[in-house]
Amino acid sequence: MSNMDKLQTSIAYLKGVGPGRADILGKELGIFTFADCLNFFPFRYIDKTKFYKINELLPNSSEVQLIGKISNLRTVKQKRGSRLTAHFTDETGSIDLVWFKGAKWIQDSIKPNTSYVIYGKLTVFNGMFNMPHPEMELLSTNKASLRSALQPVYRSTEKLTNKGINNRVMQGLVQQILKEINGRFEESLSTEILEKYRLVSKSEAMFQIHFPENQEKLFEAQKRLKFEELFFIQLQLIRKKVLRNIKFKGFVFKEIGDHFYQFYEKHLPFELTNAQKKVLKEIRKDLGSGAQMNRLLQGDVGSGKTIVALLTMLMALDNDFQSALIAPTEILATQHYNALVELLGEMEIKIDLLTGSTKTSKRKQIHADLLSGDLHILVGTHAVFEEIVQFKNLGLAIIDEQHRFGVAQRAKMWEKNHLPPHVLVMTATPIPRTLAMSIYGDLDISIIDELPPGRKMIKTVHRFDKNRLAVFHFIKEEIKKGRQVYIVYPLIEESEQLDYKDLMDGFESISREFPLPDFRISIVHGKMKSADKDYEMQRFVKGETQIMVATTVIEVGVNVPNASVMIIESAERFGLSQLHQLRGRVGRGADQSYCILMTGSKLSDDAKIRLQTMVESNDGFQIAEVDLKLRGPGDLAGTQQSGVLNLKIADISKDAQLLFLAREEAINLIKSDPNLSDPKNFLTSKTYQKIILNKENWTNIS
C-alpha cells in the first residue's frame, strides 16, 4: 500500500483510536482519515526548550517545565470532596503538585522516586509555589519520543476532553501516523515553483508543522503549506474560468442601439460617475466577446448599481434578447421593479414583476408574454427559477446579492436556453480584494467605488444609553423638519425570546415618548405575517408613519429617500457589515442623514473597534477589510456556502501577499499548460485531480 493510499485509511484503524473515539473525532473535528488528522494543524506552540530549576522560579504565573521526582502523595479533605497533593523535588528545592479531579487514576499511575518532566502554570498558595494539574511524563519516555523544541497545541472541545482525547493524545496520533508513513509525503508542487519561492518540501513542511525544531523551521513549514493551500484554490478558480470561456460560448451583443441611446440621452436622471462608465465599458467588452459573461459587480450601498444593471439590460434588448433581474426577497424585487419602471418612464419597454405572491391569472399572462417575446425585462424572486417560467430568448441574467441563493437554484437559469445567458452578479456587501479573489476568483470583478454626485456623507455617532433623552430630542427635531426615522433592534436567533422582549419594551417606551396624534409609529419584526409586514412597510414608505421600529428585516429593505435618521439599538451586538448595511438605509435623499449607534457602557475590545470604524469611515471596502480581520473569512456573508474557504492553515486577511503570489503562479501555469499535461506539472495535476474528484461539478454557474 502506497503512502497516498495509507493516508486515506479510516482513523478508527489507528492504534489507540477505535470506533468510539473515531466517531467523536469525526463529529467534533472533521477527522475521518489519517490525512484529515495530519491536516489538522496546531493553532499554537509551547516553547519547551528550557528546563527551570526550582530555585529559579518567580511568581509570575507563567508556564514552566521542570525535571524532578514525585513523593509524599496524600489526599486532603475539603468542603466539597477532596484534593490530591504531592511534593515535587529537584536538587535545588521543592514545590507542591495539586489535583482536584482524577485523583485515583493519578495516584495509581505515579511511580515514586522516578524522574519526571512536568509542565504547567505556577500559582502561589500560603507563600509556597504549587502547580495544579501538571502535564507529566517520565523522563525516559520524554527522551525517547519524537520530540521538538516547540510543542504543538491542537484545538479541542469539551466533548473530546471528556472522552480523554487531550493534547497529549492528539500529539500521539499525529506522531504514530508520521511513523507509519515514514514521514514521507508525495510532492504536490513543481520543482520550478519550489525553487522560485524557496519553499521546503512537502515532507519537511508536514513534519515541521507538527513538531518544529525551532521558530525558523516552523515559519518555513507554515509558508510552504499556506502557499500550497492558496495555490490550489486559485488553480481551481482560474481553470474553471478558462474552461468555461472555451466550453460556454455566449450570445454576441453586436450593437448598442436605440433603446440604450434613447434612455442615455433622455431619461438618465443624473450624469454617470467615472466608476459607472468604467464598469459599463467592461460589461460591453464582455458582451461582444463571444464568450459567456460572468462578472461580479461590487458597489457600496447607494453607488448606482441599478442604473448599470438597467443599461446592461437595454444592451440586451437592442440585440433582441430578454433579461431577468433576480433578487433574494420580495421587498427587494419590488423595490428594483418600481425603480426600473420609474427610470424607464414613457419608453416603450415592457417590464413585469414575478414573485411568490403574484396571482395565478397574472402569472399565466407573464408566462405567455415571456414565450412570445413581448415581455422584455422580468424582475423577480426565486419564483423565476421555476421550470414553468420559460423565455423566448433570455440573453442576460442579473442576480442581486447572489450569496443568498443556492448554487443549484442559480443553475436552473441555464436550463431556460440553448446557450447560457450572460451573467452579472451584483452585491452591495463590499468584499475585500483578498476575499473576492478567493471566493469569486473565477469571475471578472468590477467595482463602483464612488457615490453619485449630490449624495451627502452620512454622519455617524456613538451614544451610550445614558444619552437616550438627548437622542429622543434630536429625533423630534428631525421629524419636525418632515423627516422619517428607523429604530432597529438586534435579532439573534439563539435568543429570539429575549430579542422580542427587547423590541417590545423599546416599542412601548418609544410610544410613550412619541405619543399619538403628533407621532405615528410602524413596527416590523420576524414574528409578524408577511402581509402585516408589507402593510407596515408601505405605511412608512408613503410617509403615513414617521418612525419605523424594526428588527433587521429592513437590512436589505425599502428605499425611503425621506428617512434621514437610523438609530441602531445594542449596536455592539451587530457585525460591522450589518451595521454598514443598516446605515445604508438612510442617506438616499438630498437631506443630511445621521446614523446613531446606541450601546451600553460595557463594551468588548472588538465592539469598540467596530463602533470606532463606523464613526470614522463611510467606505464600505475599508469597513469590510476591518471586518475580515476581526471575524475571519468563514463568517463573512455567503463564504461558507461557497465551500471554497474551508481553510486549514492560510488566513486570507493576514496572508494577502502569499495569496497574490499564489494566484499569479496559478494564472501563469494555466496560460502555459491549460490541461496540466506537461510532465513537469505531473505532481500538481495529480493533486489537483484528487481535490476536484469529490466536488460536485457546478462549473457552468458563477
Q: What is the DSSP string of 87-108?
A: EEEETTEEEEEEESS-HHHHHH
Would you state the torsion angle of the CA atoms of residues 126, 132, 135, 139, taken in this order, to the nearest 10 degrees?
A: 30
In this structure, which amino acid lies at residue 373? G
Average of per-residue pLDDT values in the chain: 85
Instruction: Evaluate the CA torsion angle 480, 481, 482, 486 in order and state its sign.
Output: negative
**What residue ranges define each of the domains in the chain, with the CATH number in brackets?**
1-45+149-184 (1.10.150), 50-148 (2.40.50.140), 258-287+304-427 (3.40.50.300), 459-617 (3.40.50.300)
Residue 431 half-sphere exposure toward CB, CA atoms < 13 A:
29
Mean pLDDT of 600-610: 90
CA distance 240 to 221: 29
Quick check: helix, strand or coil at residue 324? strand
Q: Using alpha carbons, list the distances in angstroms from residue 29 to 17, 45, 209, 296, 695.
A: 14, 19, 18, 34, 20
pLDDT for 555 equals 46
pLDDT for 644 equals 45
pLDDT digits (tens, 9 = 90+) for 269-279: 888 999 999 99
More confident residue, 349 or 651: 349
Q: DSSP letter at 52?
A: B
C-alpha grid cell, residue 489: 433592534
Between the two ends of the chain, the Cα-to-Cα distance in Å is 39
Instruction: Evaluate the CA torsion angle 388, 389, 392, 395 in order and state its sign.
Output: negative
Mean pLDDT of 160-172: 87
pLDDT digits (tens, 9 = 90+) for 17-54: 989 899 999 999 999 999 999 999 998 888 777 788 99
Instruction: Evaluate the CA torsion angle 101, 105, 111, 117 in order and state its sign.
Output: negative
How much of the chain exceeds pLDDT 90, in percent?
39
pLDDT band at 641 (very low <50, low <70, confident <90, very high): very low
C-alpha grid cell, residue 524: 416590523
pLDDT band at 643 (very low <50, low <70, confident <90, very high): very low
- Contacts for 279 with CB less than 8 Å, ≥ 6 apart: 297, 308, 446, 447, 448
With 60 as the cut, is the pLDDT of residue 640 above it? no
pLDDT digits (tens, 9 = 90+) for 309-359: 999 999 999 999 999 999 988 878 888 998 899 999 889 999 999 998 899
Quick check: helix, strand or coil at residue 351? strand
Helices (H), 527-681: 530-541, 576-583, 605-616, 620-631, 639-642, 656-672
CA distance 633 to 567: 28
pLDDT digits (tens, 9 = 90+) for 674-694: 889 999 999 999 999 888 775
With 60 as the cut, is the pLDDT of residue 16 above it? yes
Residue 524 half-sphere exposure toward CB, CA atoms < 13 A:
26
Q: Which residues pair with 462 in a beta bridge?
A: 597
pLDDT for 365 equals 95
- Contacts for 424 with CB less than 8 Å, ≥ 6 apart: 283, 293, 295, 297, 309, 312, 396, 397, 398, 399
- Contacts for 578 with CB less than 8 Å, ≥ 6 apart: 552, 555
C-alpha grid cell, residue 400: 442581486
pLDDT for 37 equals 94
